[in-house]
Each structure stands twice: as structure tokens, then as C-alpha cells.
Amino acid sequence: MMAALMNKTTNQTLIPHLEVARTFWSRGKGLLGRSFLPTEEALWIHRCNSIHTFFMKFSIDCVFVDKNLQVKAIYQDVRPWRLIPPVWGASSVIEMASGSVNKIKINVGDQLYVGA
């Protein structure tokens, strides 16, 4: 499923092509097997409050959100073979290309929205 990620706080579209990982298989696979992630794309992994980048081929930015899509934590430029511990209050994570957080200006506390 593709959607768009928007920031209600700043009233702007952040990521026009948001892929949603809901199934056990798609959540487990994540971005593994990809050689890069375009800046206009991101992966939203449901039921996930910690991640690893084992076997990844590139760095990513990670935005952890709660069940209401409020930003709880941001990790930038997470390189391959790293582990992000559980984020208190987060229920999902949005993984995007490294450098995206600064480019689209997401901040902790922002209210995000996912639409078609």
C-alpha cells in the first residue's frame, strides 16, 4: 500500500510515496535487499518501537511515532550494523533516506498524518 506522509504541525507533505509494512513478512524484511532509498520514498513499519540495520547497504533516518502519529524520537544517519533500542511510547517507525529529516524538517512533537 502506498500513501503520503504529511506534517499536520507545519501543514506540508513530507514524503509523497510512503510504503506501509503491516504484514509479518513486510515488517520483518523492512528495507533489506535494497541498495538505496530515494528521498521521496519512505517505509512505515507498524508495531515496531526499535530497529536494527544489520545487513543493510545504506544509512537511514528513523522517525518513531506513537499510535496517534506524534513524533516521539528521531535518529539520523543510522549506519548499517547498528541497533536502536526501544523508544518509549512509540508504536511504529518511519524509515527514510539519510538526510531526509533535516531536509523536510521533522521535529520531536510534530503531529504527522498519513493520507492517500
pLDDT value for 28:
87
pLDDT value for 89:
97
Report the predicted TM-score, pTM, of the whole model to 2 decimal places.
0.94
pLDDT value for 2:
74
- The structural domains of the chain, with segments of one domain joined by +, span 2-115
SS (H, E, C) 21-86: ECCHHHHHHCCCCCCCCCCCEEEEEECCCCEECCCCCCCEEEEEECCCCEEEEEEEEECCCCEECC
Q: Which residues of the chain have pLDDT under 50?
A: none
Q: Could you give the 3-state DSSP secondary structure of residue 3?
A: strand
pLDDT value for 1:
57
- The number of angstroms, rounded, from the C-alpha of 73 to the middle of its chain's C-alpha atoms is 11
pLDDT value for 115:
86
Of residues 52, 84, 56, 65, the one with CA closest to residue 18: 65
pLDDT value for 36:
92
Task: Specify whether domain 2-115 bears CATH 2.60.120.1140.
Answer: yes
